[in-house]
Amino acid sequence: MSPVWQASFVAAPAHASGRARGAAPYLRTEFAVDVPPRHATLHVTALGLIEPHVNGVRVSEEVLIPGWTSYRHRLAVSSADVTALVVPGRNALGAVLGEGWAVGRLTSDPQRLGLWADRPAAFLQLELDYGDRVELVTSDGNWRASTGAVLANSIYDGEAHDARLEPIGWSTAGFDDRAWSAVEAVDVDLDTLIVPSRPPIRRIEELPSKEIITTPSGRTIVDFGQNLAGWVRLTVTGAPGTTITLRHAETLTGGEANFVTNRGAHATDSYTLSGGGTETWEPRFTFHGFRYVDVEGWPGPLDPGSLTAVVVHSDMARTGWFETSHELINRLHRNVVWSMRGNFVGLPTDCPQRDERLGWTGDINAFGPVAVFLYDARGVLESWLEDVAAEQREKGFVPHTVPDALGTPSPPAALWSDVVVGLPWTLYWECGDQDVLARMYPAMTAFVDDVAARLDDRGLWNRGFQFGDWLDPDAPAHDAAAGKTDRYLVATAFFCRTTNRLARIAEILARPQDAARYAALHTRVREAFRHEWVTPAGLLGVGTATAYALAICFDLLDASQERRAGDQLADLVAKADYRITTGFAGTPFVTHALSRTNHLDTAYRLLLQTECPSFLYPVTAGATTMWERWDALLPDGSVHDTGMTSLNHYAFGAVADWLHQVVGGLSPAEPGYRRIRVAPRPGGGLTHATTTHDTPHGRIQVAWRRVTDHRMALEVDVPPGTSADVLLPEHPDHRLEQVGGGRHRWEYEVPASDPAAYDFDTPMAALAADPAVWAAVSEVLHRHLSQYAERWTSDAPPPQLPNLRAFLTIFAGRAPSMETDLVAALKSRPLVADR
C-alpha cells in the first residue's frame, strides 16, 4: 500500500554561488526523538539520483536510486528500514544528489540535458512509528543545501571526487550548517510517485583485477578479464591532493586502451586524495561498460589488489543455466548472460558503455524469451512495460526508446513498436500470469489498430519508416537498416505474427468479439504476405535467410510450402559457408527455422562456424559479452569504424533461445510450465548438454548424454504438480513418454552415428558432408595454413585433391604437426566439438 506523501521535492538554489554544473548538492536537516520508535522507515526518491544518510550512515545497499522510469508518469520511491539508526535525542537526515538520467546529458547529442529536470531534486519522508502514533520528518523548505566532495557527475562521463572537500560530519547531528543555503521547493506531481514493483539496482558481484599491463606507450592498464557494467572501487594511500584518473574501455588495440566504442561518453572517474591514510572510494552517481581501466596518477607501484571491479545491475534472481560438452558454445552462452547483466541496470537497454544506454524496444523484444529464461526479469520488464504504455498514451505512438530520450516522433516499426504485444506474450508464456496481458491490452490494441489503418488495400504494411533486418552483416556499414531483406516483407511478417498473438490474447481475456476481429485481420495480412512474396511451391520472392526464417517461424506457409522453404533456407545457409547473414529480425529465428524443417545438421553447422561473421567468431576473438555487430572487432584486432560498435549488446544473444529449447530440449508446453516439453535434439558432435530452469512451479532440469556412439542417456527432473511430454532423443522408435513430478531416467540403444571410420583415404567430399568431422578438419587446416583459409570452406574442400593423403603429400612439409592434429580430428568423431 502506498504511503500518504507529505514531503516536498527540494533542491539546492538554482543559482547557488560557486556551484559548478555537475557538482552534487548535499542536503540536510535535523530532528529530535524522545524515545526510540518501534519502527522507522525512510522513503526516498529524486529527480536525478539520491544517496540517503541517517546519522552519518549511508542508509541502503541500493544504488542509483530511484533508477530510470518515465518520470512524468511514474517516479519510483525506495524504502528502507532505518529503525536501528534512529537514536533518542538529536538526529540528522541527509542526502547527496546526482544528475542521473533526469538531469544529465542523454543520447549522443551533448546538448540534450535536463530532459526531465533542470537540477536534481530530493524527496525524503521518514516515518517514525511509535505504536500509538506516527511522526513524520519530511523534506521541506527548512532543509539546508551545500556542495561537497563530488565535483562532477554524469551517467555518461563519470564522476570527479575531491576527498579534501568532504564536509566532515555533514549528516550527523550538531553539524554547523549556518553557511549552507536554504533549499528551494520544486514542483513535482506527487501522483506520479509509485512503490516500485521491480527489484532495486545493487552491487551484485566483485571481480579482482586479472592482470596489470604496461602498454607500448607506457600507460598502465588493469584488465578485469570480463566486460561488465559497473564501476571500480579503489583503495589507496598517498599524499593529499594526489589525483587518480580512471578511464574505462571495452577493448585494447595494439596493446593500448581503445575508447572508440565509448563514442562521446568520457567514462572517466577521478579521485583526489585527502591524505588521511588508507582511503577507499567508488563512484555513486555513474556506471560504465568496461573490461579495461587506464590508470593515471597512482602514487607508487600499483598493487593488483588495490582495484576491484564492482558489477552493478538490477537484483534479479538467476533462473536459467545451460552447459554442453563444447566449450566455445558454453562461452557463447556465458557471453549472453553477461550481456544481459550489463544491460539490466534498472531497465532493459541496448549497451552500457557509450553515449546511448537507452531502452530500445527492438532489442528487448528480440531478446525477451532468453531474458525471462535466464533471470526472474518479471519485475524489471513489467515495470518497463508500464512506462511503454504510459508513453504511448501520452504521445499516441510507441517510442522506439522508453523512456523516450530521443524526443522525436517514432513511427510504428516492426519488432520495435510491437513490443507492446510481443513482450507481454513472452512474459505470459514464462509465468502463466494473465495480468500482464490484461494490463497491456489497451496498448496492444492501440498499436495494432494504428498499423491496421496504415495497411494498403491488399493488407500489406508497405510504407513508412522501418528498421528492417537491422544490422544485417551485408548492410552498408553506415546504414544498418539497409539489409538484403525487403523491410516491408519484414514489417508485414512481424505484423502477421502480432495480429495472431493479439487474437489469442483476446481469447484468453474472454473478449470474443476482439478475438474474431483480430483473427480476421491476421488472415487478411497473412494472405497478403503469401500473395505478395510466396510462390505456390514455397519459394519466396525475397530469397534471404531472414525472409525464409520469418515465413517458417511465423506460420506464413502451408505444410508443403514449409518443407520447400526449409530446403531453400538450408541451401542459403550452406552457400554462405554457414556464416551469419541475418540481422536483428532474422537471427532469433534462423536456427529455429532450420531445425523445425529437419535441417538440424545445418543449424548446428551455422552455430559452430567460427569464421566471421558467425556466432562463435566473437568467442574465438576473446569476447566475454555479445557484440552489437558480428564483426565489431575485425580479424586484425581493429574496431569496426562505424561509431556503432558496442561490445556489449544482447540482441544477437537471442540464439540462446534455440540452445535452451532445441539443444537443451526444454520449453513450456503450456504457459507457466504447468506442462513441459522435453525434446533435446543432439547434433554437431556434442556429447552432452544440461539445461536447468527455475519455473513458477519449481526447478526443471534436462540432461542428455551420449554414453557411446550406440547408447544415449536422458535424465529429467520435473517439479511436483506438473507434467512433461518427453520425446527421447534419437530413439529408434521416436518414443514419447508422459511423466509427472519427480526424477526420471532413460538409457537406450540408438542407431550407430558412425557407420564408417574416416581416415586419410576418405574422399574429401565425404568429410565435407559430415558437419562435425569437417568442422574439426577445417579447423586444423585453417590453423596450420591460414593463408589458404579463404579457399577452403565447409562445402568447398581443397580443390582437385581427392583425400587428405594427397593433401598431406603437398602441405605436410610446411606444417609438420598438422598430420598429428588431423589424426586427432578424424578419430574424435563424434567428440570433435569437445575440442
Residue 321 CB burial class (10 angstroms; 0-12, 13-18, ≥19): middle
Cell of 581: 547473414
- Provide the phi-psi class of 743: left if phi over 0, else alpha when psi is between -120 and 50, else beta: beta
Which parts of 93-194 fold into alpha helices (H)? 100-103
**Count of CB atoms within 10 A of residue 225's CB?**
14
Query: Rounded to whole angstroms, how far apart are CA atoms 688 and 731?
Result: 16
Catalytic: which of 282, 532, 628, 730?
628
**Pairing outcome for strands 723-727 and 675-678:** parallel
**Which residues fall within 8 angstroms of residue 218, CB to CB, at 6 or more apart?**
none
Query: Rounded to whole angstroms, how far apart are CA atoms 754 and 751?
Result: 9
Amino acid at 501: R
Query: Rounded to whole angstroms, how far apart are CA atoms 455 and 171?
Result: 61
How many Cα atoms within 13 Å fall on the side-chain side of residue 762? 19
> Which sign does the torsion angle of CA 632, 633, 635, 636 carry?
positive
Residue 364 near residue 330, CB atoms below 8 Å: no
Residue 388 near residue 443, CB atoms below 8 Å: yes
Q: Report the interhelical angle of 512-533 vs 545-553 (nearest 10°).
A: 150
Cell of 583: 540481422
Query: Rounded to whole angstroms, how far apart are CA atoms 223 and 242?
Result: 23
Helix count (H) and strand count (E) of the chain?
A: 18, 35
Query: Rounded to whole angstroms, how far apart are CA atoms 445 and 452?
Result: 10
Amino acid at 638: S
Catalytic: which of 159, 356, 430, 532?
356
Query: Rounded to whole angstroms, how far apart are CA atoms 248 and 386?
Result: 33
Question: Which residue's entry shows cell 528487448?
Answer: 364
Cell of 8: 516536498
Query: Rounded to whole angstroms, how far apart are CA atoms 618 and 697?
Result: 36
CA 59 to chain CA centroid, Å, is: 29
Residue 141 near residue 9, CB atoms below 8 Å: no
Residue 323 annotated to the active site: no
Which whole-number Å values give the CA distances from 307 to 234, 342, 434, in the listed order? 5, 20, 47
Residue 394 annotated to the active site: no
DSSP symbol at 444: H
Which parts of 455-558 fold into alpha helices (H)? 487-508, 512-533, 545-553
DSSP symbol at 38: S
Catalytic residues, which ones?
356, 628
